[in-house]
Amino acid sequence: MKARLLAQSLLWAALGTTTQAQATDSLTACVGITDSEQRLACYDSLAAPAEREDSLLAEEAVAPVDLAEDELLLGKRLAEETKLAGNAWVITPHQRNYLLPVTYSDNLNRDAWAALEAEKAMDRIEAKFQISLKTIAWEDILGPGSNLWVAYTQRNWWQLYNKSSPFRETNYQPEVFLTFANNWRFWGFTNTVVGAGFKHESNGKGGDLSRSWNRVMGMAAFERRRMALNVRVWSRIPESRSDDDNPDIMRYMGYGDIAGIWKWREHEFGVRLRNNLRNDNRGAIELEWTFPINRRFKGYIQYFNGYGESLIDYDRNNTRIGFGLSMTDIL
């Protein structure tokens, strides 16, 4: 657009003298017309080209951002999800949906397992899968581009190869959050969306194995070409000491995380970082790679190292690697 305007300016400058002379001649001709209606029509014909040029400049100045041209893949996905919101039968993916039939962990929580299955050995190799869905509860709640969402995520650790194949741990995460579409640009990045919400997480167990916490959260997503960066911060809602199953969880889970996604052709690479910002430097890193298999599924490799992979292991340092399938990508 800037190049087009520059070219027009140079052309007008080059023809300036000729244009001015033509305009003077035309005005003189209009003045010489004795009939008032014909003279007014002559003046109108001289003004029309300038009005058309001003209209073209105004249209170019307010041209919207082309998400496809800028390769803002997350923004494009969010726009498509919002369009589907009016369909009562549509529930869209929230976080990644995946199945890892084979994962290996180097540091098993045998104390928690003994309380659950005292007579059975615990396998280092187990399955892990996640189901994550969302839908819009109220569209344009605070004006155009502001939507109220409800979501549910369930993450499972399954002793698939153990006798009777029990679920070792399941984490339930219902949440509600408000998002605002945005188009703020700086340093080559576009702030696609900002939001805030409430999230509950628990493992559904009782007694000494019970784990849960409630958080208020804020988030912002930034994009540049085929890369997206999601920043989240959270604060735990306090509980009474008698009801708190994990009073020190913030010392391990910290106060937020940063997740980056980069798409190269049909491959997607992700990294998530979390730290408690304390002297003991407790945190976690999660690495992801999805690659094409067929039109419906992607191959998926996940690596995790640190604290808080699951609620039962929030205070346990663990390294896990898994291989399987991803049903949904982020970008």
Can you give the pTM of this predicted structure?
0.77
The C-alpha angle 237, 238, 240, rounded to 5 degrees, equals: 145
Q: Report the distance separating Cα 75 and Cα 68, nearest Å.
A: 9
| 68-326 is a CATH 2.40.230.10 domain | yes
How far is 94 from 314, CA to CA, in rounded Å? 23
Q: Using one digit for the tens of pLDDT, what is the confidence trace for 286-320? A: 999 999 999 889 999 999 999 999 999 999 999 99
- In three-state secondary structure terms, 68 is helix
Chain centroid offset of residue 23 CA: 56
Domain boundary assignment for the chain? 2-61, 68-326
* Residue (of 311, 289, 306) closest to 205 by Cα position: 311
Q: What is the rounded CA–CA span in Å between residue 138 and residue 140?
A: 7
d(CA 208, CA 2): 66
Cβ-based neighbours of 61, under 8 Å, separated by 6 or more: none
Contact assessment for residue 248 and residue 235, using Cβ atoms and an 8 Å cutoff: no
Task: Name the CA radius of gyration of the chain, rounded.
Answer: 30
> Is pLDDT at 62 greater than 50 in this prediction?
no
Is the separation of the CB atoms in 114 and 208 below 8 Å? Answer: no
The pLDDT assigned to 27 comes to 54
Ranking 29-33, 54-58, 158-162, 250-254 by mean pLDDT, the lowest is 54-58
- pLDDT tens profile 77-107: 777 777 776 676 777 889 999 999 999 999 9
Q: Residue 111 and residue 115: Cα distance in Å, rounded?
A: 7
- What mean pLDDT do residues 142-149 have? 93
The catalytic residues are 200, 202
